[in-house]
Amino acid sequence: MCATKSIPNVENLDLLQWMAGILEGEGSFLLCQRRISIVLCMTDADIVQRMALLWGVAYFSVSKRKDHHKVPYVCRASGTRAAYLMQQIYPYMGARRRSQIRHCLDFVEEASRRRSSGETARKKKVANEDLLHAWNSKEPSESFRAFARRLGVANRNSMKTRLETLTGGGAGASAELRLREEEAPKSLAWIAGLLEGEGCFDCNRRNNTVCVTLNMTDVDVVNDFAAITSAFLWKEAPRRNGWKPSFIARVQGVKAAQLMRAVLPYMGQRRSVRIEDCLAYFDGVLLARKVREEAKAARLPLPAFKQRWLSRAEGESLLKIAQEFGVHPDSLRKQLLKLGVYESPIYKYTQNTTSTCSICGSAFEHLAHKAAMYCSRKCSGQAAAIRLRAGAGQVSRKRPAKHAIAGEVTGTRPGKLLPQEAICVRWRSRKPEDSLRVVAREFCVNHETLRKRLIAWGVY
């Protein structure tokens, strides 16, 4: 019917997700003066123009806040148009934007219910049966304005909502504004829209790489972006009092270059120029790296490496062979790995062997490069107790505490006790150049602890 002709319906899923991504970062969902609206304000005129074409509205420029700022451009969708746009993008929005959309659409449903039930004041009340009969008998050439004037109704919007409810054609029916609460899967178009509004494409010339960064305060949106792009995610504290913490996701290197190439067809003019500059820089880095590797491989005699490595003597190390050729051991290792003749020694740290416990007699597995005599700590403790009871003279390998004083707790050396008199005699017979630290070092004790003990013994 004529009431729904101007309502936008974005059927292309990529355009819908691109629109949702931009509005997630740069959009505003407003309820002002009993009227809902969606507002997009950006300094990229081409992006605002593309969004205005999707909405079927006009866009305009506004004045700059400061002289050094760019000129912002604005497009706005209000009323029924905004309600249907909110309904379409709702499954792709984050938690904060969803709450704003629900607040706006709840107001629309309540206003529609009041108008359809006749709770609002009108200059002339027309029964629903009479209104529906007049609408069905209307001439096709009669405009909606003339139809309302013929019935004597001044509020055409109210009558339009009643007709949509009665005929089931529904811009104002509450059934038409039901939202899908389940979250829809997000695609590359949503990522492109999000990066158009809140993304950053940068060249890290120090590390010779490129990166794509997303900085937002909505952790659920950043998590979705990081899950799709395999980005590294971290949190930053708010810079000022009253601000929210920021969540940052970043992709670097080859993954960032692949992401840039994937989102390039969706981006605006400013972002496209920046992405092309980053890709040109990174392609040059990759080309220079490839040229260096080829030149390095050409200088290295790979057949000689292979023959020398296969004919090496038993026990001859990689370092010795690298020194013969005058190359770095890591470079030789990489070339041998590429040739498939080098086996990393790490394998010996992952091989297991079986031994028999000398206490309980049970078999147990352990790493082959480590010697093991006991299957558990319990058996190891029992073996230590047996050795002590047998008087084998073996002492514990545990290092004595630094604060232990000879003759009170334990000796400074394993199995040897030093009495208190020995420390006092050494202190009294010290030379003028012997300091407290020198004496404490001889007895392997802390000098502060030795000072306290000497004071307690009355010799300091």
**CA pair distance 157, 53, nearest whole angstrom:** 24
- Co-location of 372 and 305 in the same domain: no
- Co-location of 192 and 317 in the same domain: no
**Is the residue at 379 inside a domain?**
yes
- Co-location of 145 and 196 in the same domain: no
**Is the residue at 295 inside a domain?**
no
Amino acid 374 reads Y
**CA pair distance 148, 285, nearest whole angstrom:** 70
- Co-location of 359 and 386 in the same domain: yes
- Co-location of 322 and 362 in the same domain: no
Q: What is the pLDDT of residue 267?
A: 93
Backbone dihedral angles phi then psi of residue 337, each to the nearest 5 degrees: -65, -40
Number of domains in the chain: 5
Contact 325, 332 (CB under 8 A): yes
Q: What is the pLDDT of residue 328?
A: 82
**Is the residue at 317 inside a domain?**
yes
Residue-wise over 293-317: b if at least 16 C-beta within 10 A, else e? eeeeeeeeeeeebbebbeeeeeeee
- Co-location of 104 and 21 in the same domain: yes
| % of residues, the chain, pLDDT over 70 | 80
- Co-location of 115 and 256 in the same domain: no
Q: What is the pLDDT of residue 320?
A: 85
Look up the domain containing 107 and give its range: 2-177
Kindly list the distances between the CA atom of residue 22 and the CA atoms of 18, 50, 89, in Å, as whole numbers in the listed order.
6, 12, 11
- Co-location of 126 and 201 in the same domain: no
Q: What is the pLDDT of residue 397?
A: 45
Start-to-end Cα distance in the chain: 106
Enumerate residue ranges in the chain where pLDDT < 50.
1-5, 121-123, 170-176, 347, 392-418
Last residue in a domain, options 177, 206, 234: 177
Kindly report, residue by residue over 23-38, the tens digit of the pLDDT.
999 999 998 877 899 9
**CA pair distance 31, 29, nearest whole angstrom:** 7
- Co-location of 58 and 160 in the same domain: yes
Read out DSSP for 231-249?
A: -EEEEE--SSTTPPPEEEE
Q: What is the pLDDT of residue 48?
A: 93
User: What 3-state class would DSSP assign to 34?
Assistant: coil
pTM value? 0.56
**Is the residue at 347 inside a domain?**
no
Q: What is the pLDDT of residue 276?
A: 94
**Is the residue at 309 inside a domain?**
yes
CATH number for 230: 3.10.28.10
Contact 46, 268 (CB under 8 A): yes
Sign of the CA dihedral 405, 408, 409, 411?
A: positive
User: What 3-state class would DSSP assign to 299?
Assistant: helix
**Is the residue at 416 inside a domain?**
yes
**CA pair distance 66, 180, nearest whole angstrom:** 42
Last residue in a domain, options 177, 200, 218: 177
**CA pair distance 172, 259, nearest whole angstrom:** 41
Strand intervals (E) in 130-231: 199-204, 209-216
**Is the residue at 183 inside a domain?**
no
Contact 74, 41 (CB under 8 A): yes
- Co-location of 88 and 158 in the same domain: yes
Q: What is the pLDDT of residue 412?
A: 41
Q: What is the pLDDT of residue 451?
A: 85
- Co-location of 247 and 330 in the same domain: no
- Co-location of 19 and 126 in the same domain: yes
**Is the residue at 235 inside a domain?**
yes
**CA pair distance 134, 346, nearest whole angstrom:** 88
